[in-house]
């Protein structure tokens, strides 16, 4: 018997945190930050709805802040257990958590709130953190936890939990974490797993289809070419992890094959630059059919510029157009992209290209939804540039890929819990699972507990 409680990412996309207990042992899967509409929303300051001292271990699916960002707070609140993830996830999470310290400090100062955590808290978390390989199993009490490749970002894992059943045998619960987009050329994709009894699955795009692998590349090529013809700036707000590396990979491939003209490409994000270095370190985790250590040669392409310092970032302004600027944050909720948006959104020659999910309330979503004017650093900025969207670069599966994944386990599944999605996306997936597969499904609410 196991009790499963949903303490985040329940009918929303951030704050992933699930508690699983077998009567004696309590274990958490993910401990993420609630991030919508701000980088850190006020829900993060509320006490945990469980006693952190009573938790034996924490398993982390992947390095995104909405899966890791409340770890320092968990430790401040008395958690003394072990933290487990894959090797790349530990490195990437350390990088991302350290980076978030500065963002949180700025936000806390602006909102006159107490800062959620500081660098020292992140160091304490890293000291408790142990790395594992895919397929490694960790036992905690009578439960066991196994990592499988989720194909979402470097090091991302699904976690299969086995716990003793009420009478005999065991029950298997698969937590998908965030799943990958099968069209991603860098990663190996979602790995095969033993069939679970229960599935706790992400549903970010439970209601939407992406472009296919060829279509997305063609669309990117077209957007770049049109931007060159207009002689404008192409801004791409990108997440530092995965999408940036995939985008750089694709653009450098187009440059090598002379599919697009030479022009300066700026990666204006220290976080993305450091994350790319971790991709190089763990290249053996990547899709070896395409990639070896040398394949990361976009580091050496003369037209790709890495803007580490603020000075480097400012120099981008003086580079003549056409040019491409890839900068974070991915939803324009902060980061260097804001400076470029303030400067370039008002010119019809320029283009902004969205390649990922834009959360409600974020600046990116307002632009995507057609706002005529947006406020950046207190200034009214008219939006007159071209807007383009390519969902195919999302690092999540679309509705069909997600459904296919669930369908592949349909024989054994007793129930599906759709988490990590806006209500419409989660509920649409729930309906589809019930209607087409005849499997019980639900989109749990925050704080809901179920006995499995
Ligand atoms: Zn993620």
Phi and psi (nearest 5°) for 295? -65, -20
Token pair belonging to 64: 């995104």
| First-last CA distance in the chain | 6
Distance 231 CA to ligand 1 centre (A): 34
Distance 232 CA to ligand 1 centre (A): 32
> What are the residues whose beta carbon lies below 5 Å from ligand 1 (ion)?
64, 178
Distance 88 CA to ligand 1 centre (A): 14
Smallest CA-to-CA distance from 210 within 246, 158, 245, 175 is with: 246
Distance 220 CA to ligand 1 centre (A): 22
Smallest CA-to-CA distance from 24 within 141, 106, 125, 132 is with: 141
Cα distances from 387 to residues 57, 270, 357, in angstroms, run: 45, 26, 15
pTM for this prediction: 0.90
Distance 134 CA to ligand 1 centre (A): 17
Distance 229 CA to ligand 1 centre (A): 35
Pick the CATH number of 213-393 from 3.40.50.10890, 3.40.30.10, 3.40.50.300, 3.40.50.150: 3.40.50.10890
pLDDT in tens for each of the 452 residues of the chain? Answer: 899 999 999 999 999 999 999 989 999 999 999 987 777 788 898 999 999 999 999 999 999 999 999 999 999 999 999 999 999 999 999 999 999 999 899 888 988 888 999 999 999 999 999 999 999 999 999 999 999 999 999 999 999 999 988 778 899 999 999 999 988 888 999 999 999 999 999 999 888 888 888 889 999 999 999 999 999 999 999 988 888 888 888 888 888 889 999 999 999 999 999 998 898 888 888 887 666 656 665 556 778 899 999 999 999 999 999 999 999 989 998 889 999 999 999 999 999 999 988 888 899 999 999 999 999 999 999 999 999 999 888 889 999 999 999 999 999 999 999 999 999 999 999 999 999 999 999 999 999 999 99
Distance 276 CA to ligand 1 centre (A): 16
Element (H, E) at 59: strand 57-59
Cα distances from 381 to residues 34, 85, 367, in angstroms, run: 28, 42, 11
Domains 3-208+395-451 and 213-393 agree in fold: no
Distance 152 CA to ligand 1 centre (A): 7
pLDDT for residue 277 = 87
Distance 16 CA to ligand 1 centre (A): 10
User: Cβ contacts of residue 79 below 8 Å, gap of 6+?
Assistant: 52, 53, 55, 58
Q: Decide: residue 284, CB within 10 A, 0-12 exposed, 13-18 middle, 19+ buried.
A: exposed
| CATH 3.60.15.10, applies to 3-208+395-451 | yes
Q: How many residues does the chain have?
A: 452
CB 62 within 8 A of CB 89: yes
Q: What residue ranges do the domains of the chain occupy? A: 3-208+395-451, 213-393
Distance 158 CA to ligand 1 centre (A): 12
Distance 437 CA to ligand 1 centre (A): 27
Distance 348 CA to ligand 1 centre (A): 33
Tell how strand 386-389 and strand 351-354 pair up: parallel
Distance 260 CA to ligand 1 centre (A): 30
In angstroms, rounded to a whole number, what is the distance separating the alpha carbons of residues 74 and 16? 13
């Amino acid at each position: 018997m196991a009790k499963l409680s949903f303490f985040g990412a329940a009918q929303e996309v951030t704050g992933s945190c699930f508690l699983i207990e077998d009567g004696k042992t309590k274990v958490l899967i993910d401990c993420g930050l609630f991030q919508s509409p701000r980088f850190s929303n006020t829900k993060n300051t509320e006490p945990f709805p469980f006693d952190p001292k009573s938790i034996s271990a924490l398993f982390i699916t992947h390095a995104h802040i909405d899966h890791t960002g409340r770890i320092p707070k968990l430790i401040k609140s008395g958690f003394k257990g072990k933290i487990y993830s894959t090797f790349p996830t530990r490195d990437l999470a350390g990088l991302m958590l350290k980076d978030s310290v500065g963002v949180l400090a700025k936000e806390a100062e602006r909102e006159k709130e107490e800062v959620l955590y500081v660098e020292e808290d992140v160091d304490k978390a890293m000291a408790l953190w142990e790395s594992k390989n895919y397929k490694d199993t960790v036992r905690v009490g009578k439960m066991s936890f196994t990592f499988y490749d989720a194909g979402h970002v470097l090091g991302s894992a699904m976690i299969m939990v086995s716990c003793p059943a009420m009478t005999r045998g065991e029950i298997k619960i698969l937590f998908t974490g965030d799943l990958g987009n099968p069209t991603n050329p860098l990663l190996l994709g979602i790995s095969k797993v033993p069939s679970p009894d229960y599935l706790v699955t992400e549903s970010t795009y439970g209601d939407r289809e992406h472009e296919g692998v060829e279509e997305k590349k063609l669309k990117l090529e077209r957007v770049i070419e049109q931007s060159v013809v207009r002689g404008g700036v192409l801004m791409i707000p990108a997440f530092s992890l995965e999408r940036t590396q995939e985008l750089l990979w694709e653009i450098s491939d187009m440059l090598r094959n002379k599919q697009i003209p030479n022009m300066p490409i700026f990666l204006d994000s220290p976080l993305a630059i450091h994350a790319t270095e971790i991709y190089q370190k763990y290249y053996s985790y990547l899709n070896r059919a395409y990639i070896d250590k040398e394949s990361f040669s976009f580091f050496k392409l003369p037209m790709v510029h890495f803007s580490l310092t603020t000075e480097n970032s400012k120099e981008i302004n003086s580079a003549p157009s056409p040019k491409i600027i890839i900068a974070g944050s991915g939803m324009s909720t902060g980061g260097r992209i804001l400076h470029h948006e303030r400067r370039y959104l008002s010119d019809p020659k320029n283009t902004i290209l969205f390649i990922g999910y834009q959360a409600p309330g974020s600046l990116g979503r307002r632009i995507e939804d057609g706002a005529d004017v947006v406020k950046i650093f207190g200034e009214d900025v008219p939006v007159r540039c071209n807007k383009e969207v390519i969902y195919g670069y999302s690092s999540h599966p679309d509705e069909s890929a997600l459904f296919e994944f669930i369908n592949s386990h349909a024989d054994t599944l007793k129930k599906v819990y759709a988490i990590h999605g806006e209500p419409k996306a989660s509920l649409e997936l729930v309906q589809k699972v019930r209607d087409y597969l005849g499997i019980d499904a639900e989109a749990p609410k925050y704080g809901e507990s179920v006995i499995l």
